[in-house]
Amino acid sequence: MIKRIKKALGIENTTPMQGTSLVINSEKLERRVALIEEGSLEEYNLEREGDLNIVGGIFKGTVKNIEPGLKAMFVDIGLEKNAFLHFWDAIPAALDNGLEEIQREGQKKKKKKQKRITSKDIPSIYPQGSEIMIQVSKGPIGNKGPRVTTNISMAGRYLVLMPYSDQFGISRKVDDPKERQRLRRIMQKLQVPEGMGIIMRTVATGQRARHFVRDLAILLEQWYAVEDKRINQKAPVCCFREPGLIERSVRSFLTDNVGQVICDNENTTNEMREIAGRISRRAKRRIHHLPSRQSIFEKLNLQKQIDEAFSRQVWLKCGGYLVIDETEAMITVDVNTGRNKGSKDVDKMLLETNVEAAQEVARQLRLRNIGGLVVVDFIDMRHRRDQQAVYRAMKERLKRDKAKTQVLQISSIGLMEMTRQRLNESLRDSLMEPCPYCQGRGRVKTPMTMSVEVQRALNTVIQRGEGGLGDLVIVVNTEVLNRFKNEDSNLFVELERTHSGRLTFRTDPTLNRERFAIIEATTDKTLHQA
């Protein structure tokens, strides 16, 4: 697939790793980034002009009010809605289970343990009206304000700086014992200021010591700028904001696993090369400009896969399909056999469909950027070993997801429950708004239902007029009028007999099916409107 793309694009001189590319479409109002693996769209992100991305941002705020019942406080950080700080997120956090704690060079083990801070201590540490340094961990979603934490960290290319924690950690995903030992030695020699800590990321594998020295220097420079704002500016103030989509993409995706980066805008390409050049010359050489009159997503036939991200129904290669619904409470996924009914071995067919469905569900969650509680209704399987196989397939595919996930075994009724970390609004919510006609129901009233409602409204209007009304004009949707002319024509004839004037029906093709109006013909006065 990659070879064909290279040939079509005229970039055969590049040496990408098989199967993985980063494709970037940069326009005046919108920038889009797609991660492609073996021709399949795995991640899709976009940023529009004027978008305010505050996730990862560091703020100096003011505690506005404390809610002991919620075990939380609300912090003014200068946004429309106050940030939500749970007491648990205000407690100094221990290292994640996915990290191995490293003893700092020259650090002696403390004989006496410091008093452990609990949730009960938080209101006294941060009383109402006090200033507080926090970091946004989850952006505003719907009517909810952002969620924040006092455990501040700043991510670099290879390191994560923790300015308020003195812990050292290394990712457990670095599984080679010799490499882990080498990275430990490098980490212990880094000149980290007293009271600060660092985490070495998985991408640090195989990198030289000078890369970490440079990464640490950049992070410390950023943090000193944050400290300067904290000291010299009044709350609320934003002390640090994460870079835009392009820079984040270079930092997050431009690893040894990504063979090439293709962009259709020359200025953006040069910007990425400059950013990558600070990381490594090798990374810089993998960024290519593709001049094109049309969108690069159209050129590479990626638009169809992007459109699927907004489709309720997703087809599987085996002939089955998924039905994905986003609700306020949870995400529901229904798995169906669809056209996959040809196998004589029913159990085998069901297993294959469910395994493929599990892999596709994991991909769709990542692609659509949806999270929270997810419930997947798999096709019923008789054998427990088949259920285990589907569970393992889901777990394996979720390893590619940067968001934290938790998956439970398939229940006795065929449901799999899982949670996915949600940092921002889903792709659907960020690009779309609720339908003004159906108000988010996803359904509209049938022509028959509207016929009943129009008749009911006419009866009310006629009764109120008590014979004093003249001719009436009823304006309705075209489909509703067709119902009046055919199935319900006799009913309206009978209704007209009870009225002293004539009933005239007029159609408005632009009118929503659920809307209609009853107008007095002589005065043009609207008597009823829905």
Indicate which CATH number applies to the domain containing 296: 3.30.420.40
pLDDT, residue 467, reads 57
The pair of structure tokens assigned to 281 is: 């010359």
The answer to the question of residue 111 being in a domain is no
pLDDT tens series, the chain, 530 aa: 444 544 444 444 443 334 788 888 888 888 888 888 888 888 888 888 877 788 889 999 999 999 988 899 999 999 888 999 999 998 888 777 777 788 776 665 554 556 778 888 888 889 999 999 999 988 887 778 899 999 999 988 888 999 998 888 888 888 888 888 898 888 888 889 988 999 888 888 888 888 889 889 989 999 999 999 999 999 899 999 988 888 887 777 666 577 788 888 888 888 888 887 776 677 778 888 888 777 788 888 888 888 877 788 999 988 899 999 988 788 999 999 888 776 678 888 899 999 999 999 999 998 888 888 999 999 998 889 999 999 999 999 998 888 889 999 999 888 999 999 887 777 777 777 777 777 766 778 888 888 888 888 888 888 777 556 778 888 988 888 888 888 888 877 777 777 777 888 888 878 888 889 988 888 888 888 88
Is residue 389 within 8 A of residue 402, CB to CB? The reply is no
Q: Domain end: 431, 461, 490, which one?
A: 431
CA 203 remoteness from chain centre: 23
pLDDT, residue 110, reads 52
Indicate whether 68 and 144 sit together in one domain. yes
CA-to-CA separations, 204 to 222, 256, 460, in angstroms, rounded = 20, 11, 75
CA–CA distance, 420 with 371 (Å, rounded to integer): 5
Cα torsion angle, 170, 171, 172, 178, sign: negative
CA–CA distance, 326 with 196 (Å, rounded to integer): 41
- How, if at all, do strands 131-138 and 147-149 pair? antiparallel
Indicate whether 93 and 232 sit together in one domain. yes
CA–CA distance, 364 with 216 (Å, rounded to integer): 35
CA–CA distance, 173 with 421 (Å, rounded to integer): 20
The pair of structure tokens assigned to 340 is: 């996959």
Indicate which CATH number applies to the domain containing 507: 3.40.1260.20
CA–CA distance, 359 with 366 (Å, rounded to integer): 11
CA-to-CA separations, 341 to 20, 319, 347, 349, 352, in angstroms, rounded = 34, 8, 11, 8, 12
Kind and range of the H or E element at 160? strand 159-162
When computed from its CA atoms, the radius of gyration of the chain, rounded to whole angstroms, is 30
CA–CA distance, 52 with 198 (Å, rounded to integer): 28
Indicate whether 452 and 388 sit together in one domain. no
* Listed residue (93, 77, 115) closest to 160, CA to CA: 93
Indicate whether 383 and 460 sit together in one domain. no
Q: Please give the backbone phi and psi of residue 275, each rounded to the nearest 5 degrees, phi first.
A: -65, -45
CA–CA distance, 88 with 118 (Å, rounded to integer): 8
pLDDT, residue 17, reads 37
Neighbours of 199 (CB within 10 A): 24
CA–CA distance, 277 with 398 (Å, rounded to integer): 31
399: left (phi over 0), alpha (psi -120 to 50) or beta: alpha
**One-letter amino acid for residue 23 of the chain:** V
CA–CA distance, 244 with 246 (Å, rounded to integer): 6
What is the residue range of 78's domain? 58-104+118-241
pLDDT, residue 2, reads 46
Beta-carbon contacts of residue 348 (< 8 Å; ≥ 6 apart): none
CA–CA distance, 327 with 333 (Å, rounded to integer): 11
- Number of structural domains the chain divides into: 4
pLDDT, residue 343, reads 65
3-state class (DSSP) for residue 239: strand
To the nearest 10 degrees (0 to 180), the angle between helices 209-232 and 177-189 is 50
Indicate whether 263 and 178 sit together in one domain. no
Q: Domain end: 401, 431, 461, which one?
A: 431
The answer to the question of residue 113 being in a domain is no
Indicate whether 396 and 335 sit together in one domain. yes
CA-to-CA separations, 285 to 72, 160, 254, 271, in angstroms, rounded = 49, 25, 11, 13
Tell me the whole-structure pTM to 2 decimals.
0.73
The answer to the question of residue 437 being in a domain is no
238, β-bridge pairs = 59
The answer to the question of residue 109 being in a domain is no
Cα torsion angle, 420, 426, 428, 429, sign: positive
The answer to the question of residue 438 being in a domain is no
The answer to the question of residue 491 being in a domain is yes
CA–CA distance, 182 with 189 (Å, rounded to integer): 11
Indicate whether 337 and 395 sit together in one domain. yes
Cα torsion angle, 122, 131, 54, 205, sign: negative
Indicate whether 236 and 250 sit together in one domain. no
Indicate whether 233 and 362 sit together in one domain. no
pLDDT, residue 106, reads 62
3-state class (DSSP) for residue 453: helix
First vs last Cα of the chain: how many Å apart? 55
Is residue 231 within 8 A of residue 225, CB to CB? The reply is no
Q: Please give the backbone phi and psi of residue 415, each rounded to the nearest 5 degrees, phi first.
A: -105, 140
Which one-letter DSSP state was computed for residue 462?
A: H
Q: Domain end: 431, 459, 476, which one?
A: 431
The pair of structure tokens assigned to 438 is: 């159906």
Indicate whether 396 and 332 sit together in one domain. yes
Exposure pattern of 32-52 as b/e (b: 16+ CB <10 Å)? bbbbbbeeebbbbbbbeeeee
The answer to the question of residue 135 being in a domain is yes
Indicate whether 194 and 47 sit together in one domain. no
H, E, C per residue of 200-225: ECHHHCCCCHHHHHHHHHHHHHHHHH
To the nearest 10 degrees (0 to 180), the angle between helices 209-232 and 266-279 is 110
- How, if at all, do strands 372-377 and 415-420 pair? antiparallel
CA–CA distance, 132 with 151 (Å, rounded to integer): 11
Beta-carbon contacts of residue 498 (< 8 Å; ≥ 6 apart): 462
Indicate which CATH number applies to the domain containing 181: 2.40.50.140
CA–CA distance, 217 with 98 (Å, rounded to integer): 25
Indicate whether 75 and 207 sit together in one domain. yes
* Listed residue (229, 224, 279) closest to 250, CA to CA: 279
pLDDT, residue 16, reads 34
The answer to the question of residue 164 being in a domain is yes
pLDDT, residue 8, reads 43
pLDDT, residue 94, reads 76
